[in-house]
Structure 1
Amino acid sequence: MFTDHMGMVELAKINELAHVNLPVMLMPDDFKAYSKIRVDNHLFNKENLPSHFKVKEYCPNVFRNLRERFGIDEIDFRESLTRSQPMQVDSPGRSNAKFYITSDKMYIMKTLLSDEVEQMHSLLKEYHPYVVERHGKTLLPQYLSMCRLTVDSVETYCVVMRNVLSTHLQIHKKYDLKGSTVDREASHKELEKNLPTYKDNDFMKDGTKVYIGDHAKQQLMETLTADVEFLMKLNLMDYSLLLAIHDVNKAEEEGIQQESEDDVIEEEEEEQCGVPTPPDSPQTAARDRAASNGAINPEVEIYAIESYESAPQREIYFMALIDVLTHYGVKKQAAKAAKTVKYGSNADGISTVEPDQYGRRFLDFMNQAIV
């Protein structure tokens, strides 16, 4: 039901905002503001959609300003969300929330619990000034819109974020890294997936490194350090770095193999039809795919970093921080105490530790992982 009418709701509320002038300066009330829209669906697609549903958009001017800071065009944003029905996807981290991806893979919609909406409101007051100060240069999630959808008295909360993996390149390996070692291996259930998400111990066992060179590492660590210190200041912990890897050599081999298969298909078709290869044939398309392997489109793959020229692996890396809303409160303090008793001398490797310790350990791990 969520995906069936989300596009219509997004279109309605974005169209409404399109006629509102964005204030030159945001005021404190903008962080408390909301807009409400009621959609009466008497005629259009009534068989599949409910007759009435409502949407409440939180802090519309703040999120519109954030979209501008992140260089997102309003028309493109609207089209991405409304072009067709979003598809549900697996969570990239530990979250039990439901995730939906737009048809062009540009944006992720994540469901929230009501208390997480309160956390988002609290975060937003610090998050927006930080994004402004950093001129949009951050690996924190890019929060772009937040709303509550009510259908048949059932409320669903949702936040829209930019998709880290909005890429035309194939992802060959994926890691969720926290810098901790206790219980940080991919489960057997996870390993059964086509593209499992591996964890810290898998990363170290594989001998994986992020080969981007000194200059790129310095810039990346500067951004990561600023982001982590921001999270530490807000008493947040248990976040992860999502690392996805495109293997350029493997992609080229796959491209050659695909081209050979398409050549055979094309030859068979020519024998049957006696016609030359047209410009849009599978063979031509295969060549285009092979030519594009390893090519980065900076307008889409904003998270992508290429390995340095003489690196032992020819790779393209996609990196961003995820699951950043966990506050170190009473529950996490109790969890830390329980795990400390359980793991004893290995307790330094547990993920549930104070935000300062978590952040410093996380940065130390990343500093060793990136070369």
Structure 2
Amino acid sequence: MATTDGGGGGTLGSKDYKKPTAAALKGAIQLGIGYAVGNLTSKPDRDVLMQDFYMVESVFLPSEGSNMTPAHRFPDFRLKTYAPLAFRYFRELFGIKPDDYLYSICNEPLIELSNPGASSSWFYLTSDDEFIIKTVQHKEAEFLQKLLPGYYMNLNQNLRTLLPKFYGLYCIQCSGVTLRIVVMNNVLPRALCMHYKYDLKGSTYKRRASRKEHAKSSPTFKDLDFQEMFEGLFFEADTYSALMKTLQRDCRVLESFKIMDYSLLLGVHVLNKKGLARGSRLDSRRHNGQRVLYSTARESIQGGVDAKPTDPVADDDTMGGIPAKHKDEKLLIFLGIIDILQSYRFIKKVEHSWKALVHDGDTVSVHRPGFYADRFLKFMGEAVFKKIHPLRGASSKRKRCSAYAMRSASQEVLSPLKEEPSDEAKSKSMESLKGLLANSSKNPDLLPLYISSNQSVSTSLETFEKDLKDYLQNSNTSQATCSDVGPGDTVPSLPAQSSPDSVQDVYL
């Protein structure tokens, strides 16, 4: 967590000081953040300017106090606050009020978390489960500050993102020890037991949890472990589409910043199992109104700006998790992209080249940003997240209904007309009948029927049916049937109703 800073300045680099304890460092963090946020209240609200992203404020806080700083029981330390106005804007964007921010961080002692990753970072969690405080290296802090203008632009375009939400960047120099810390949103709530946790990169080279990690009470597994334990997590079609669109958008943003080696932190809570461990303190804080907007997994992927941001999404038993299924188990999924402060710098290029010599270069985690994003998305969309397809029975039923509807429609077309046709339809049918008359002599299956010009079509059809019945009766009387009529025989003509002004051919 801590590194010795030779350029600390003043008496902070003196060897006369003892190394501060972990409790003293946590106290200095809380006091420093409280002082920095409180100092902002005297500054008026205004638009964020470009120079605000690169501003650094420094103040010395002696233990005996001063005219500007309070007295405290920790060793003397220096506080640096990076881009204070820009981070104030980010906190306001997510609905974090200064009083709530200070209450979450400073009211009760921070909870130290274990770090399953390869980095030497330390993690602290606030007592209300809202914020994570992570220590970062000098290069990472420097990279984040350079990233802030683009990060500002991205958040203004879309607040619903799985990328980390940064709320503050600080540096504590205490007794020759330097801590650079960043305040972020918490992805995995403690109020729900995470039965499985995964750190996924989409690569397969050495992506398996160690024996030491397996021995922990709550281990964090990796890509190969996931493939062995799950066939995939299944979501409803709309949820799957929203999740993948969010991941695609976030990966393209990271690619534009030349960021790689990030991970997807995935927590799985099985609803069938016991593990809901709510604390009264968590409930009281949440019901008192402390809610960071768009901080839960469900809020981060749901599209549409019309959604009400003040809805208490996480106040129910789901805690803002995304419903999913695996076989017969009902799950709640919590996720977020982490470790985005790794740019594809020269040292990473060398690392990739060296690993590619001893192993397949496309399987190692370190890779150029474009390839890394494509491999990451493919792994998430095919191996990790899957779409629930509709049942085959329902599909075949729809097909049967469709076939029945087509058959019914065809029968209705072939059935005799029961309604009076419109005048337009009458005129069109009369014109077509005149054209058919010329071919009637060539078709032996056509019976000519004469209709007067002032006679309606329906009346003529009724008359034709009556005459046809009389004709068939006469044919039966004379022992003549349809089968007795040969190809060369002529069909007796039907009685004419009137003088032929128009002719209609009827198919038998």
TM-score, normalised to structure 2's length?
0.60
Q: Tell me if 1:147 matches 2:170.
A: yes
* In structure 2, C-alpha distance between the alignment counterparts of 1:198 and 1:311, rounded to whole Å: 20
Tell me which residue corresponds to 1:242: 265
Residue number among 319, 324, 336 corresponding to 1:307 in the alignment: 324
* In structure 2, C-alpha distance between the alignment counterparts of 1:36 and 1:342, rounded to whole Å: 47
Tell me which residue corresponds to 1:268: none
**1:194-239, Cα deviation, whole Å (9 max, x unpaired):** 1100000000011242222110111111111111001111111110
**Aligned AA for 2:45?**
L
* Offset, 1:167: 4.4
Would the aligned equivalents of 1:34 and 1:57 in 2 still touch at CA under 8 Å? yes
Tell me which residue corresponds to 2:62: 40
Q: Tell me if 1:115 matches 2:139.
A: yes
Structure 2: 5+ residue runs without aligned partners? 1-23, 281-297, 299-311, 387-508
Tell me which residue corresponds to 1:61: 85
| Aligned counterparts, 1:357-368, within 5 A | 357-368=371-382
Would the aligned equivalents of 2:116 and 2:213 in 1 still touch at CA under 8 Å? no
| Aligned counterparts, 1:1-371, within 5 A | 1-23=24-46, 25-42=47-64, 48-50=73-75, 52-91=76-115, 93-134=117-158, 136-251=159-274, 298-299=313-314, 304-307=321-324, 312-343=328-359, 346-368=360-382, 369-371=384-386
* Offset, 1:13: 1.4
Identical-residue share of aligned pairs (%): 31
* Offset, 1:27: 0.6
* Higher helix proportion: 1
Structure showing greater relative contact order (alpha-carbon pairs closer than 8 Å, 6 or more residues apart): 1
Would the aligned equivalents of 1:174 and 1:244 in 2 still touch at CA under 8 Å? yes
**Structure 1 residues 45 and 92: CA distance shift in structure 2, 3 A:** farther
* Offset, 1:16: 1.2
* In structure 1, C-alpha distance between the alignment counterparts of 2:333 and 2:117, rounded to whole Å: 17
Would the aligned equivalents of 1:93 and 1:322 in 2 still touch at CA under 8 Å? no
Rg: which structure is higher? 2
SS of residue matched to 2:183? strand
Would the aligned equivalents of 1:93 and 1:323 in 2 still touch at CA under 8 Å? no
* In structure 2, C-alpha distance between the alignment counterparts of 1:120 and 1:329, rounded to whole Å: 14
**Aligned AA for 1:130?**
N
**Structure 1 residues 79 and 151: CA distance shift in structure 2, 3 A:** same
Would the aligned equivalents of 2:197 and 2:265 in 1 still touch at CA under 8 Å? yes
Would the aligned equivalents of 2:196 and 2:267 in 1 still touch at CA under 8 Å? yes
Structure 1: 5+ residue runs without aligned partners? 259-279, 281-295
* In structure 2, C-alpha distance between the alignment counterparts of 1:45 and 1:121, rounded to whole Å: 30
**Aligned AA for 1:370?**
F
**Aligned AA for 2:74?**
L
**Structure 1 residues 208 and 9: CA distance shift in structure 2, 3 A:** farther
**1:93-119, Cα deviation, whole Å (9 max, x unpaired):** 432211111122211111122222211
* In structure 2, C-alpha distance between the alignment counterparts of 1:195 and 1:183, rounded to whole Å: 20
Would the aligned equivalents of 2:28 and 2:172 in 1 still touch at CA under 8 Å? no
**Structure 1 residues 200 and 239: CA distance shift in structure 2, 3 A:** same
Measured on the aligned residues, the alpha-carbon RMSD in Å equals 2.4
SS of residue matched to 2:60? strand
**Structure 1 residues 303 and 58: CA distance shift in structure 2, 3 A:** farther
* In structure 2, C-alpha distance between the alignment counterparts of 1:340 and 1:138, rounded to whole Å: 32
**Aligned AA for 1:100?**
Y
**1:219-270, Cα deviation, whole Å (9 max, x unpaired):** 111111111001111111110000001110012xx67xx9xxxxxxxxxxxx
* In structure 2, C-alpha distance between the alignment counterparts of 1:155 and 1:322, rounded to whole Å: 23
Tell me which residue corresponds to 1:291: none
* Offset, 1:153: 4.2
**Aligned AA for 2:80?**
K
**Aligned AA for 1:176?**
D
**Aligned AA for 1:113?**
Q
**Aligned AA for 1:338?**
W
**Structure 1 residues 208 and 102: CA distance shift in structure 2, 3 A:** farther
* Offset, 1:17: 1.3
* Offset, 1:298: 2.2
Would the aligned equivalents of 2:62 and 2:71 in 1 still touch at CA under 8 Å? no
Tell me which residue corresponds to 1:292: none
* In structure 2, C-alpha distance between the alignment counterparts of 1:125 and 1:34, rounded to whole Å: 15
* Offset, 1:304: 2.2
Would the aligned equivalents of 1:185 and 1:200 in 2 still touch at CA under 8 Å? yes
* Offset, 1:22: 2.4
Would the aligned equivalents of 2:202 and 2:376 in 1 still touch at CA under 8 Å? yes
SS of residue matched to 1:168? coil
* Offset, 1:299: 4.5
* Offset, 1:122: 1.0
**Structure 1 residues 109 and 208: CA distance shift in structure 2, 3 A:** farther
**Aligned AA for 2:63?**
N
**1:264-291, Cα deviation, whole Å (9 max, x unpaired):** xxxxxxxxxxxxxxxx9xxxxxxxxxxx
**Structure 1 residues 20 and 45: CA distance shift in structure 2, 3 A:** closer
* Offset, 1:302: 7.4
* In structure 2, C-alpha distance between the alignment counterparts of 1:211 and 1:93, rounded to whole Å: 27
The number of aligned residues is: 324
